[in-house]
Every structure is written in C-alpha cells, then in structure tokens.
Amino acid sequence: MDNDDEIAVVGIGCHFPGGEGLENFWRVLLHGENCAVQIPNDRFNLSQWYDPDESKPGKTHTAKAALIDGLNEFDHKFFGITNAETMTLDPQHKVLLECTYRALEDAGIPMEKASGTRTGVFLGNEQMRWLQLRARDCDMALCGGVTCILEPTIFVALSKARMISSDGMSKPFFSKADGYGRGFRRP
C-alpha cells in the first residue's frame, strides 16, 4: 500500500446461518438457500410464545428464523476460560471470540503474535468508532459485530408491529411479501 490512509483486510472470520466461514456465506448467497428453521427450545420455548393468530396479545406469529448452528458449542478451554465463567458468558461473546480467532488464523497471525500488540477492538456499528480507528492509535484492528436470536420479546414486538414475516422469510420485491425474516437468508 502506498498511502498511510489505506486499510487492508487481511483476515475474515464469520459464522452465518447456513454455515461457518466465508465459503458457506457465499454458497448461501449464490444458491439462494433458505436458512429459516423452526426456532428450537434452546433459544426460547416456542410453545409459550408462538400463536399463528396475529391478534393474540403477548405472542409472536412466526415460529421460524435463520439461526447459526452450534451456538452453545464453545471450547472454553481453548480460550483459557473456566467452565464457571463459560456458564455466565453471553453466547454472543462466545461467537465473537471464535470469529476473532478465525479472522487471525485466516490472516496467518497466531494469537501469540497478536498478544501484547497495539491492536484495537471495535465491535458494533458506531460512527465515532471509525474516527477513533482512523486516529492511528493502533497498528492492527479487529472489527466485528454479532447478533444472536436468544429471546422472544423482540419477536412479539415485531409481530405486533406487523414487521415480521409469518413464515420467517424475507421476500423483497415479491407480491406476497409480508414482513421480514429475522436472521440472514435469501429466499
């Protein structure tokens, strides 16, 4: 790179519905795979929160979403985290740790080499973070975001606002569109 303002993406770690890694992400996109599945009880008790009748108070009218596989499969020992800590760790933090490791691995940077370096960590989507990343206070940055469907109240609110699709699928530009599906998928 010729310019100090240029940024290079040297590694990617990701986990989307449809599989782990960039290859699976592209496969889902290219083949138009539908990743919406019945919401399992390990996310939330669907029988308590679901009713196909949109008018039922406190209920969601969708039972499907695009979910990642293996949400609760986390090798805590690999990351030096005790079993007790793992029990209280947000599942989204687990996904971030795994994807961060995969991004470093994809970049050819062993964790030992990243340890102790001037590495910034920027998570979420805040405009000010970009300006802080551009302040040159780090030599390397890990940037990412995560959202996992873990509880039903948002489904209920989206159902009542008639924003969520009853079949869990987004159908952009289709005459039968009835809202969007939570998670990532393409019909």
Q: Residue ranges of the domains in the chain?
A: 15-160
pLDDT in tens, 4-22: 677 888 899 999 999 999 9
Whole-model pTM?
0.78
Residue 173 confidence (pLDDT) above 80: yes
DSSP assignment letter at 50 = B
pLDDT in tens, 95-145: 889 999 999 999 999 988 988 888 888 876 433 334 447 567 778 888 888
**Confidence at residue 115, expressed as pLDDT on a 0 to 100 scale:** 86
Name the range with the highest mean pLDDT among 42-46, 60-64, 70-74, 151-155: 60-64
Q: How far apart are CA 93 and CA 109, in angstroms?
A: 21
Residue 75 confidence (pLDDT) above 90: yes
**Confidence at residue 171, expressed as pLDDT on a 0 to 100 scale:** 85
Confidence of residue 168 (pLDDT cuts 50, 70, 90): confident
Architecture of the 15-160 domain: 3-Layer(aba) Sandwich (3.40)
39: CB partners within 8 A, 6+ apart:
46, 50, 63, 64, 65, 67, 149
Residue 51 burial (C-beta neighbours within 10 Å; 0-12, 13-18, 19+): middle
Mean pLDDT of the chain: 85
Q: How far apart are CA 175 and CA 45, in angstroms?
A: 32
